[in-house]
Every structure is written in structure tokens, then in C-alpha cells.
A and B are shown apart, each in its own frame.
Chain A
Amino acid sequence: MTEFQKMIRETVTILILCALLDLLTGGTLEGMKEKFSLLPGLLVMIPPLIDLRGNIGSALGSRLGSALHLGLVRPEFTMTEVLKINIFSSLFLSVVASASIGVISWLICLFMNLSGVSLCCLLFVAVFSGVLSGVMITFLTVFISIISFKRGWDPDNVTGPVITTVGDIITMLTILLSVVIW
């Protein structure tokens, strides 16, 4: 099998799998969104928060793909320096970028004259769900990259799509959890 055929086979499989997952979860998540309209300002924040987790995960996956191909990360579950740097920067960004999104959403709400929006609430939901989903998504990304590389699949073809799709579910659930706690 040529490299081209391998790319097509892996990519099409993953794309269709993710589209199916999307269809299955899309409806449920849409239903959950109704609950979020109870907390003022939260709806403004949800799309960018979901994108953010997917982006941190897919950037990590993309870096790990390169690092695995370059031989900087070995396909085994041992904490090397390179892996540690990649993991910690993702976790750090999960917290800091989530907090930034919380503040920006609050500013947008102020600008749009939305009443009853509290900065504390938005910040809590953004950061709490950010930490929780950040930890899960980061380790899942490392896991998927290493496993797919071990199995002879190119992590560049697999990790990004899988982590953005699964990340959506994880993020929505953690946002829901933080809203319930609040």
C-alpha cells in the first residue's frame, strides 16, 4: 500500500467516524444548551470555550505527531522531558486561556447591555470546566497519539479530528457540571 493510499484510508475512516459521533452527540448537546440559558451570559461563552479545548488538544496532537515522527517522543508511556513540556504547556494554557475567555465574554455581555451577568460566575465556570476538561483532554491526546503511532497509524491523521470531536462532549459535560456546582 502506498503512502498516499494509507493516508486516504486512515483519513476517510477517521472523518466518517467523527461525523457519525458528531451526529450522535450533536442532538444531545443541543438539548443541553437550553439549560445554559438559565445563567445569563453563559451562552456567549460556550462556543469559544468548546473551540478552545479542541484547539489546545489538536495543537498538542499536532506537536506530538511531529515529535513522534522526529523521534523526539518515543511511542511509550514514560514521562520524558519533551513530553512533560508539551503536557504542562497544554495544562497551563487550559487555565489561562479559559480565564481569558471568561473575562472577554463578560466584557462582551457588558458591551451588549446584558443584565445580571456576574464576572465571578463566568470566570468560575470557564476556569473550573477548563481545568477539569483540560486534564482529561490533554492526557487523552497523549494516549491517542502514542497508541495510534504504536499501531502503525499516522497520529497526524488521527489525533486532531478525534480529540476535537471527543473534546466537544467532554467540554459540554464539564461546563454542565460547573453550572450545577455554581
Chain B
Amino acid sequence: MEAYSFRRIVSELYFILLLSAALSFAAGFILQENLDKILKTSMLIALVPPINDMGGNIGCIVGSRMGTALHLGTIRPGRRGGTLRKNFWGGITSGILSFAATGLALLCLKPLGVPRWVAPVFFLAGVFQTLIAVYVSISLAFIAFEKGLDPDNVVAPLITSICDIGGVVSLFLAARLLGI
């Protein structure tokens, strides 16, 4: 296998970085244009940064692990094996546990005036966000690898931007489902 070359890293990553920046500009605009109005009255907007960052981090970890496994050959595209299953369920379990822990922390902030519904909404949205982060990062890793791109260059930048959109959608969905 060809080891790392400056040209390959720069040309692959530059394109991905600009794509990710475009998504990030877009996410910013969507937030500013619509969600200000929808979320202004509630505390939901305060939950956007943590849910986006945690989703991005989960996606980053799973993507990075997928990159390593694809390079090592322990995961092959198009085949389901033990390593893939472990990464999938490991990502889902870690994500849900972490969102549960932060949700509990939010519950403890009740004396500071954080309403009681904030924690369950955050947790449920976190479950949606985890599913998005894990599923999309695994898919992106496979797609990148099959196209001859290095998944290490592709997944992390894209998944953080995708989770910026996913987090907002998840919060909105969770609030709707819980009737807030």
C-alpha cells in the first residue's frame, strides 16, 4: 500500500475541508434564519452546542476507528464481521451512556433554574444524534474507502458538520415527541 504522500493528503483533504465549511456556513444560516424564532422561547437553543459537539465527537471516534480497521484489513467493505459489529455497537453504547451522564448532570442543575423537561429532551435527542453519528460515519468510511479516498481524511471533517445539522433536527424532534 502507498504510504502517506503530501500531495494526496492535501488534495483529498482540501476538497473535503471546503465541503465541510460549506455545510457549516449552511448550518449557520439555517439556524439563524429559522430556529431563532422556533427556539427563542425555550431553553432548547442552549442544548444545541453540547449535542452538536458530542455527536461530532462520537462520529469522529467511530470514523477514526473505521479508518484504522479498513487500513488494517480487519473490516472489508461490503462484509459484515465481528469488528464492524463491535464498532457499531460500541459507538451506540458509548454515545447513549455519555448522553445519559450529561443528562443526569443537567437534572442536577435544577436548582439553578434549569426546567425539568430539559434533561429528558436532551437524552432522547442524544439517542437520535448517536444513531445518526454512528450510522453516517460508518457509511462514509465505506464510501470513501471504496472510492479510493483515505477514510481518515474524509469522515472526521464531514461527520462534525453533518452532526451540526443532526443535533438541531434531533432536538426539535425530541421536543415534539415529548410534547414540549
Contact = CB atoms under 8 A, between A and B. Distances in A.
Interface of A: 3-4, 7-8, 11-12, 14-16, 18-19, 22-23, 26, 44, 47-48, 51-52, 54-56, 58-59, 61-63, 65-67, 69-70, 72, 82, 85-86, 88-90, 92-93, 96-97, 100-101, 104, 108, 154-157, 159-161, 164-165
A82 B102 CA distance: 39
Contact of B60 (A51, A58, A67): A58
B57 to A, nearest CB: 4
B152 A62 contact: yes
A19 to B, nearest CB: 5
B157 interface: yes
Nearest to A5: B90
Contacts of A56: 13, 17
A96 B9 CA distance: 13
Interface string B1-28: 0011110011001101110110011001
Contact of A97 (B17, B56, B153): B17
B98 A69 contact: no
Contact of B65 (A23, A90, A157): A157
B6 A85 contact: yes
Interface in B56-88: 56-58, 60-61, 63-65, 67-68, 71-72, 86-87
A67 B4 contact: yes
Nearest to A104: B21
Contact of B98 (A16, A48, A72, A157): A16
B23 to A, nearest CB: 9
Contacts of B161: 51
A62 B53 contact: no
B160 interface: yes
Nearest to B102: A19
A61 B64 contact: yes
B24 A48 contact: yes
B54 interface: yes
Contacts of A108: 25
